[in-house]
Chains A and B, each alone.
Chain A
Amino acid sequence: MTDDDLRRAYQARVNRAGGPPPTPEELAALVSGSGTEAERLEILDRALAHPETARELELLRAITAAERAEAPSRAARWRVPLALAATVTLAVSATLLVLSRRQSEILRAPPALGAPAPITPEDAAVRAPGNITFVWHPVPKAGGYRFELLTEVGALVTATTTPDTSTAVGVAGTGPYRWVVVALLPDGVEVLSRPRSLRITP
């Protein structure tokens, strides 16, 4: 029996394996590559055993695969920070910092659709290498925030999760960056802020 015969028969089957389908969060973890290999394999098995979750997985996989196809390569995605690390040490250890902010700043927060609104550094800010404090407006019901520092083309340089609305990150590498904040809402919903650009110059 050829591989094609197996495929045709498998795709025509009407009985399905038991067990609950994976949750949306498990599907997201699978396509993002988080979790252990054993966990990803177990989620994949359950996802493909159910036609509906197989279609859901395909939607998420296609988005991720399209993003990867657009980037130079997955390996290159990691070569960027590694190359930077050689010449430009990036301090990955982020120090969480709670800043006292003026009430007026909080009151004029305009988080449309619950998106976190960045405060400082301002867009297109220029900073010297060192510790930089990133601050954003709170989002109602957010259980925490994930701060992401990206290269200019969107490759992740470092990320940190905090329950606060600010974080201090040591950035020693010169060059252009972007940064975004993701509000982590209940039920796994994530809302991205608008990206801001940042340039580090000596």
Chain B
Amino acid sequence: MSPMDAASAALDTLIARCASKVRLVGRTHRLDPSEVDEVFQEVRVRIWTAIGPGESIAGLPSSYVYRTATSVALDLIRRRRTKRAAMSDPIHLVSDPPDARSGSAELIELQELGGLIEESLAELPTSRRGPVRMFLDGYAKEEIAAVLGWTEPKTRNLLYRGLADLRAVLGRRGVGPEGVR
């Protein structure tokens, strides 16, 4: 194997390991694996271009790969937004397309309740609204703490208070423990 081939294989191994970890972390939160692949393909190109022939790839820290991935992801987000802006309305004015099952009474009821939750969230203090939104979106307390840079006790405290606030607001809107009254 030529030195160039060996370097290429080393880079592929490093990038595959990092991409695999990202897919693993995002798998429970609707992160599209093909999106991760798109990012890390670009990461490979950028690193391969930045690292000159003969320079060591084996010693490249993974933090460098992740930093490059963040930079690539931001560029990807910018490109997509530019494309969307050219093609459609601003994303904050666009609703999700209707679900194929939108005819079901159960789903309609669920959507109505979801709408009440959304309105009720506006009444929560900002310090509790963010963590509650993350929790409702399926994030674990540890993940919420990591994003906000909070300790576990602080996260737990604000989250539980936020959920209690939310239930109280929903109660005033006629949504009790059994759902909409």
Contacts and interface: CB of A to CB of B under 8 A. Distances in A.
Contacts of A17: 118, 121-122
Contacts of B96: 14, 51
A55 to B, nearest CB: 7
Nearest to B72: A63
Contact of A15 (B22, B95, B170): B95
Chain A interface secondary structure, helix, strand, loop or mixed? helix
Contacts of A20: 90, 92
A66 B49 contact: no
Interface residues of A, number: 78
Interface string B24-60: 1110011110011001000000100111100100011
A191 B26 CA distance: 25
A44 B133 contact: yes
A11 to B, nearest CB: 7
Contact of B49 (A56, A70, A115): A115
A14 B115 contact: yes
Interface of B: 18, 21-26, 29-32, 35-36, 39, 46, 49-52, 55, 59-64, 66-71, 73-78, 81, 84, 90-92, 95-96, 98, 107, 110-111, 113-115, 117-119, 121-122, 126-127, 129-130, 133-138, 143, 146-149, 163, 166-167, 170, 175-179
